[in-house]
Amino acid sequence: MKIENKEYRTIWFDEQSQTVKIIDQTKLPHKFIIKDLKTVKDAINAIKTMEVRGAPLIGGTAAYGIVLAIIEKNNDNFIQESSKLLIQSRPTAINLKWSVDRMMKKILGTKNKEVLKVALDEAKKICNEDENFCKSIGLNGLKIIENIYNKKNDTVNILTHCNAGWLATINWGTATSPIYHAHKKGIPVHVWVDETRPRNQGANLTSFELNEEEVPNTIIADNTGGILMQRGEVDICIVGSDRTLSTGDVCNKIGTYLKALAAHDNDVPFYVALPSSTLDWNINNFKDIPIEERNSDELSQIEGIDEDGKIKKVTIYSKKSKALNLAFDVTPAKYITGLITEKGICEASSSALHKMFK
Ligand code: MRU
């Protein structure tokens, strides 16, 4: 998708320098910086500090992390150890482990001389696949937006939470892909963008990427969604997923659950858009999903740009105050109208997911 009218993907491999290029998302929307990842440590650090984030992009970065480990030291023990550290870099998005496991399986038993080529091809394949899946999610989700538009004959108001946009994936996004497809088709859409405290990813990333694609959007505080739904100003909610269980329960950015409750209370359709790489077939009870707890500094401090164009962090409450910073929550399947996947739209239920993917 576009930044300043130029097409980008969120991650790519530069053959000449043998490095991985990423867009540093911690600097957006104020600064657009392309950063080089030269070592597996750089890849781990980029995931931990959220220079790259969003379940599918974390998966893509981890795949390239294995490539960087091989470039650094083509040695079985080093690659094994690197794969473990990559998996541990963030706990909740299942794409991370899915991607590293897939890479390790692919290179297992490959001759030393060929391992780099095999790994690089697989990392590219994982990223290309994600791009194609997200495109298909968009085409499938487009039908839902189109139906609403055909009934309403007026702008379709869509609420999304956090950033499940192209910046969270390789391209297109999950929740935003149907929106981009509708916009490209000429259907009038407007997006309510939850700011998503504490990191303001809705405001900093979703609104930014929608602006670059000229999709009308309005930032709202996280708690505004409920009243907008009561007022009939939200036609549909579309969110992303970091891990979807075979039960249909969806783990996503903190606050998704409260949006789903508000949507349920107001008969607003609540859809989750996800590629199959986000499915976890092993955990059956949502209470077993590891929920990331991040540093409470993310709550007590806020970052922005000052009048001189300098990015600054300020502390917003007393140092004596204690804070709890949980990054994800789980929305039970009963509150989800449907799952928009690359294969089509299905009910958030075990039988529907098995029928579609197993
Ligand atoms: O903490 P983040 O920024 O990695 O979390 C992002 C989200 O929760 C997204 O909604 C999710 O990864 C879906 S990505 C298309």
Q: How does pLDDT run across 37-80, given as a tens digit for each residue?
A: 999 999 999 999 999 999 999 999 999 999 999 999 999 999 99
Residues 6+ apart with CB under 8 A from 8: 1, 2, 23
Closest ligand 1 atom, CA of 273? 15
pLDDT, residue 51, reads 98
pLDDT, residue 232, reads 98
Distance (angstroms) between ligand 1 centre and the Cα of 107 equals: 28
Distance (angstroms) between ligand 1 centre and the Cα of 86 equals: 17
- Given ligand 1 and candidates 11, 133, 159, 162, which is best to mutate, with the most ligand atoms within 8 Å of its CB? 162
Distance (angstroms) between ligand 1 centre and the Cα of 111 equals: 36
For the segment 286-310, the average pLDDT, to the nearest whole number, is 96
Q: Exposed, middle or buried, 83 (CB in 10 Å: 0-12/13-18/19+)? A: buried
C-alpha–C-alpha distance, residues 123 and 121, integer Å: 6
pLDDT, residue 209, reads 98
pLDDT digits (tens, 9 = 90+) for 155-167: 999 999 999 999 9
Does residue 242 have an active-site annotation? yes
Closest ligand 1 atom, CA of 169? 15
- Given ligand 1 and candidates 252, 257, 325, which is best to mutate, with the most ligand atoms within 8 Å of its CB? 252
Closest ligand 1 atom, CA of 175? 15
Average pLDDT along the chain: 97
* pLDDT bracket for residue 304 (50, 70, 90): very high
The pair of three-digit structure tokens given for residue 297, joined into one six-digit string: 């500094």
Catalytic residue among 242, 249, 280, 329: 242
pTM of the shown model: 0.97
What is the distance, to the nearest Å, from the Cα of residue 155 to the centroid of all Cα atoms in its chain?
A: 26
- 54 CB near ligand 1 (under 6 Å): yes
For the segment 266-277, the average pLDDT, to the nearest whole number, is 98
- With residues binned 3-state (H G I as helix, E B as strand, rest as coil), the percentages for the chain, rounded to 5, are 45, 20, 35
- 252 CB near ligand 1 (under 6 Å): yes
pLDDT, residue 29, reads 97
The pair of three-digit structure tokens given for residue 124, joined into one six-digit string: 């590219």
pLDDT, residue 308, reads 93
CB neighbours (10 Å) of residue 199?
24
Distance (angstroms) between ligand 1 centre and the Cα of 151 equals: 31
pLDDT digits (tens, 9 = 90+) for 91-138: 999 999 999 999 999 999 999 899 999 999 999 999 999 999 999 999
